[in-house]
Copies of this chain bind each other. A is one copy, B any other.
Amino acid sequence: MNRTLKALPFTQVTIEDQFWAPRLRANRENTLTACLDQCDSTGRISNFAKAGGQADGEFEGIYYNDSDVYKVLEGVAYALMSQSNAELERRADDIIDQIAAAQEEDGYLLCYFTLQAPDKKWTDMAYHEMYCGGHLMEAAVAYKKATGKGALLAVACKLADHYDEIFGPGKRHWVPGHEEIELALIKLYEETKEDRYRDLAFWLLEERGHGNGSGEIWDREGWGPAYCQDDKPIREMTNVSGHAVRAMYLYTAVADAAAITSDQGYIDALDRLWESVVLRNMYVTGGIGPSKDNEGFTLDYDLPNETAYCETCASVGMVYWNHRMNLLHRDAKYADVVETALYNGALAGVSLSGDRFFYVNPLASKGAHHRVEWFGTSCCPTQIARFVPSIGNYVYATGDQTIYINLYVAGTGTMKLEDGVVTLTQKTNYPWDGNVQITVDATEMCSFELGLRIPGWCESAAFHVNDVPTRPAKLNKGYATLVREWKTGDTVTLQLDMSVQREHALPLVKANQGRVALRRGPLVYCVEQADNELNMEQWIVSSSTAFFTEHRADVLEGVTLIHCEDAASGKQFAAIPYYAWDNREPGPMAVWLREEK
């Protein structure tokens, strides 16, 4: 039996629910266009034209700006896979032409060095050369899948070949200052089946922690090799360190490599790192990286709220990494983290309208923190642009004769098992309630195990199969499994009991002592001034009171509010899902509320 699961790609998944469909529409209609427009107006796209001799002028912006263009292209590709859009595709093709032109003869591609400092290529490992290259590769694979057009993929392969010529065993050492290339080369390998790309990815992973890194980061006081996870070899890693997004991209690649090689040293390291991140360094929102100074980690349990950095990209990185961990270990606890980061830390990164973004996601604000249209370093908007249209990736996974449902999202998933093709249709109002109806459509009578994730937040669940109360055969690593000969029309109803829950931080988290966070299903809540007359100092939750929930179609495109009441004074205040904050007038916000008798 294959140890790892396969994710069902989002192209085999339709999303038709009230929660995610509007988010995907906002992405398609606003986010992608907004990001393309910003890439245009900030010179990110014309940099390619300039580098390719199609336009005149100097390089504009920051040396890693190419990556934003690639990430938006990746998002466009994902959007096109779900729904054709001639205008978006035309814009993409046009950009791809410029990218292709910008590639140098030998394959090198990074506008900054080509235009501004050609003699400085490959001199400082901090300079995101391979980081940008990695994003190109991801975009290229996506665009090929979406359109069948191979132009960008040819650029990506030529770039990968260029890397492979210079770096590798017996060639030059290189420790990419910002990881990304490793996971991208594995993706490129999976698309092209070119073993060299895989081997180069593996070699780059092994480069780390042996003193081969050098450059500005390595020398900077307080940063050093740990900042970019170069302080020790992967197999010796025990605790997360440094820049949060870099760590996530590295761990994602390590998990990809382990899925291919079953390297136990990698798996053991990942398991240790997972405990380090999730048990000691993660916010209740799934956000990570408390510090603005290094955009990353500090000390275990240092999780301040108002100054929480929690970069949007890092929450997305948590989804990427934990998704791989779930596939690797067939354990729903990783999908729990995917869900938490997805519905909270990551989704807060974009406005409901799709065209305003957070880079930084604090868990409390006095009112001065707001989404904006763009940033000088705009990794987060473009991360959202490519992430949201691909969330279908996280819904289903398959084993040999098992279908696992990791997320409850209305829509369908179509997957090929040994015995035939199966389509599952989910009907649900999740995350607003915990009832999910799953209908089977099979090409023929089909025996498989259906594994339904019982989320970590869920205290109890009930099942019916074809309206008959049923208990699952077992609860295996967080999956309730039903085994039977399925036939078309068979229906499983899952009821996940969903109460408002009080989350308490560990005593070691000083910021949250005497405080409570409210959670309902996958959603972490916050209190925002816009809903309330009481001010921030009065948002105090009685330690014994019950909460009232109220679904309001007219608030924030439809959310379930949690009404809180101080039993003593009778004052009420309302909480909203954290992902939806700062979509109205600016004002104070808090996730962790004072809790009193």
Contacts and interface: CB of A to CB of B under 8 A. Distances in A.
A462 B561 CA distance: 10
A363 to B, nearest CB: 22
25 contacts: A454-B546, A456-B544, A458-B499, A459-B501, A460-B499, A460-B520, A460-B547, A460-B549, A460-B562, A462-B549, A463-B548, A469-B550, A469-B552, A470-B550, A471-B550, A474-B572, A475-B548, A475-B565, A475-B567, A477-B567, A480-B548, A497-B499, A497-B500, A497-B549, A499-B499
A370 interface: no
Interface string A500-539: 1110000000000000000010000000000000000000
Given A456-B544, A471-B550, 18 more contacts: A458-B499, A459-B500, A459-B502, A460-B500, A460-B546, A460-B547, A460-B549, A461-B546, A469-B550, A469-B551, A469-B552, A470-B550, A471-B563, A474-B570, A474-B572, A480-B548, A497-B500, A499-B499
Contacts of A502: 459
Secondary structure type dominating chain A contacts? strand
Interface of A: 454, 456, 458-463, 469-472, 474-477, 480, 497-502, 520, 544-552, 561-563, 565, 567, 570, 572
Contacts of A471: 548, 550, 561, 563, 572
Nearest to A500: B460
Given A459-B499, A520-B460, A475 B546 contact: yes
Contacts of A551: 462, 469
Contact of A461 (B475, B498, B548): B548
Q: What 10 A-B pairs are tightest by C-beta distance, nearest first?
A: A460-B500, A497-B499, A459-B499, A460-B547, A454-B546, A462-B549, A469-B550, A475-B565, A471-B563, A460-B499
Given A497-B500, A498-B497, A500-B497, A549 B475 contact: no
Nearest to A462: B549
A346 to B, nearest CB: 25
